[in-house]
Amino acid sequence: MSADNGHQDDHHHDHHEDDGASHGTFRGYVTGFLLSVVLTAIPFWLVMGKVLDKPSTTALVILGFAAVQIVVHMVYFLHMNARSEGGWTMLALIFTFVLVVITLSGSLWVMYHLNHNMMPASAHDMRNMP
């Protein structure tokens, strides 16, 4: 007593769900990789070849390349964009950026003023303290 009514394929469902997020293509990943390599090689060349005279100028150029590389990673590897579907992702990124800025600026401020708040190191200075 089989209940075979000829509709055996009715129970087969295609479980490939699409969450609407953009997924990367091979070409996108290769483009991101090549941009990352170039954005790493140029600062390496600037430092090793001593192309720029001032170290502070070299540091600023490297920071600029680092910022561009962060954007490349976010676009090509994390697939972040300004679409409405990615709103929560963008909000989380902004929140993380604010926390990093607060943490870094607070740490730099503490380290800069730490010298004024430290006890003197010499024995002569220690004897002259109240």
Q: How far apart are CA 125 and CA 130, in angstroms?
A: 10
Domain boundaries, the chain: 24-79, 83-116
The predicted model scores a pTM of: 0.58
The tens digit of pLDDT for each residue in 25-80 reads 899 999 999 999 999 999 999 999 999 999 999 999 999 999 999 889 988 988 87
The tens digit of pLDDT for each residue in 69-90 reads 988 998 898 887 766 565 677 7
> Rg of the chain's alpha carbons, rounded to an integer?
28
Amino acid letter, residue 75: V
